[in-house]
C-alpha cells in the first residue's frame, strides 16, 4: 500500500508518530533545523535544500534538476512497507509538488489528472511549486501531462500553514506474481 502523508515542519514529529512512517522527505532552505524522528533511519531521510521560488533570486537556492533526480531515485527505492512523510516549512507547495512527483514515479500508468485531483481532494490549500514539474515531467516521460494537470489543479486556498493530509491514491492490492 502506498501511503504518502504531507505536512508542515511544525507537524513532522506528530505526523511520523501518528502514521508509523519509515521515510521522510524534507524540503527546506539551507540552515533550517529539522530533527529527524528517532523512528526513521538516517538513510530513509532525504533532505533537499531549496527555497520556494520559481526564478533565480540573489542568495536563494532555486529548485534544480538534481533535486528532482534525487527525489525520483529516493521514491524508486521506497519499498512501501511503511508510509512516507513529505514536508516543507509550511506544508503547502514544495511538499505538494514532491508528493505529486512521487505519485507519478510510483504509478507510471495512472492518469496525471487523476493524481492531481487526489491532491486537491486531500487538501484545499495544496499548491504545487511549478518549478519542479517541468523537470519531473520530462524525466518521467509524461509529455507535459504533469504540468497541464497541475495547472488545471490550480492554486489552493490561501493559508500560512497547511493541515497535514494523506494523499489517497486508492491503492488496490497488487496481484501476486
Domain definitions of the chain by residue range: 4-159
Q: Is the Cβ–Cβ distance between 39 and 21 less than 8 Å?
A: yes
Partners of residue 86 on adjacent β-strands: 6, 25
Global pTM reads 0.90
User: What's the CATH number of domain 4-159, 3.90.180.10, 3.40.50.300, 3.90.190.10, 3.40.50.2300?
Assistant: 3.90.190.10
Q: Which residues contact 134 (CB under 8 A, 6 or more apart)?
A: 147
pLDDT (tens digit, 0 to 9) for every residue of the chain, 177 residues total? 689 999 999 999 999 999 999 999 999 988 888 999 999 999 999 999 876 667 777 776 777 788 999 999 999 999 999 999 999 998 888 899 999 999 999 999 999 999 999 988 999 788 887 778 888 999 999 999 999 998 887 776 676 678 999 997 876 444 443
Q: How far is CA 66 from CA 26, 49, 102, 167, in A?
A: 15, 11, 15, 24
Amino acid at each position: 500500500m502506498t501511503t504518502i502523508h504531507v505536512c508542515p515542519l511544525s507537524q513532522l514529529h506528530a505526523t511520523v508518530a501518528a502514521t508509523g512512517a519509515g521515510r521522510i522527505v524534507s524540503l527546506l532552505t539551507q540552515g533550517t533545523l529539522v530533527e529527524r524522528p528517532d523512528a526513521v533511519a538516517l538513510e530513509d531521510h532525504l533532505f533537499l535544500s531549496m527555497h520556494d521560488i520559481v526564478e533565480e533570486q540573489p542568495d536563494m537556492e532555486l529548485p534544480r534538476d538534481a533535486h528532482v533526480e534525487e527525489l525520483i531515485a529516493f521514491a524508486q527505492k521506497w519499498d512501501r512497507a511503511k508510509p512516507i512523510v513529505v514536508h516543507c516549512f509550511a506544508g503547502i507547495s514544495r511538499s505538494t509538488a514532491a508528493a505529486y512527483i512521487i505519485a507519478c514515479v510510483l504509478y507510471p500508468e495512472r492518469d496525471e489528472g487523476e493524481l492531481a485531483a487526489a491532491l486537491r481532494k486531500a487538501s484545499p490549500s495544496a499548491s504545487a511549486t511549478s518549478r519542479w514539474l517541468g523537470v519531473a515531467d520530462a524525466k518521467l516521460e509524461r509529455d507535459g501531462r504533469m504540468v497541464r494537470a497541475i495547472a488545471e489543479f490550480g492554486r489552493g486556498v490561501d493559508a500560512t500553514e497547511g493541515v497535514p493530509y494523506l494523499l489517497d491514491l486508492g491503492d488496490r492490492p497488487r496481484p501476486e506474481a
